[in-house]
Amino acid sequence: MSDEKQNSVVIEIFKNGYQTIFDRNWPMWLGGLLIGIMSVITFAWARPWGVAGGLRNWGDWLFSAVGLYARSPQSPVISTNSILTLGLLWGAFASALLSRQFSLRLAPPFELLKGIAGGTLMGVGAAMAGVTAV
């Protein structure tokens, strides 16, 4: 087989692999299975996979940098919660870019209201989850 034909075959294989991974929608069960596997791995590694702890670490760090907190929290650079949260955000961003589905779109007004209400309730719940009853 000539080098030119062999190169075109390799390029075609890479194109098909790229389309399989990034262009086509994956089945929901496969996404759920992969998230479950990642959750088990992170639980075995350090702690359960969650975003609230990383975001709280960032907020505590920001508030201590501004001077609202007297004590400085653990740096977000070495916090495992922050690393997991950054990995989730950058991974989702990279996936959207690679699948060519990234765009800035404004949600309908009612969806924005639901998002604000849900985010507020999630923040209150995350803050209350760290409080123990005496």
The answer to whether the CB of 62 falls within 8 A of the CB of 132 is: no
Do 1 and 43 belong to one domain? yes
Do 98 and 134 belong to one domain? yes
Do 88 and 123 belong to one domain? yes
Instruction: Provide the pLDDT for residue 130.
Output: 67
Do 32 and 68 belong to one domain? no
Instruction: Provide the pLDDT for residue 3.
Output: 64
Nearest C-alpha neighbor of 75 from the set 93, 62, 92? 62
Instruction: Provide the pLDDT for residue 120.
Output: 92
DSSP conformational letter for 25: P
Instruction: Provide the pLDDT for residue 134.
Output: 43
DSSP conformational letter for 51: S
DSSP 18-52: HIIIIISPPPHHHHHHHHHHHHHHHHHHTS---SH
Do 71 and 107 belong to one domain? yes
Do 73 and 123 belong to one domain? yes
CA distance linking residue 46 with residue 43, whole number of Å = 6
Instruction: Provide the pLDDT for residue 125.
Output: 83
Q: Is-above-0.85 flag for pTM?
A: no
Instruction: Provide the pLDDT for residue 33.
Output: 92
Do 43 and 55 belong to one domain? no
Instruction: Provide the pLDDT for residue 1.
Output: 56
Do 69 and 111 belong to one domain? yes
Do 64 and 99 belong to one domain? yes
Do 33 and 68 belong to one domain? no
Do 56 and 44 belong to one domain? no
Please give the average pLDDT of every successive group of 10 residues along the chain, which has 134 residues: 70 82 81 87 78 81 85 80 84 84 86 93 80 48
Do 95 and 40 belong to one domain? no
Domain count, the chain: 2
What residues make up the domain containing 106?
A: 51-134
CA distance linking residue 118 with residue 100, whole number of Å = 28
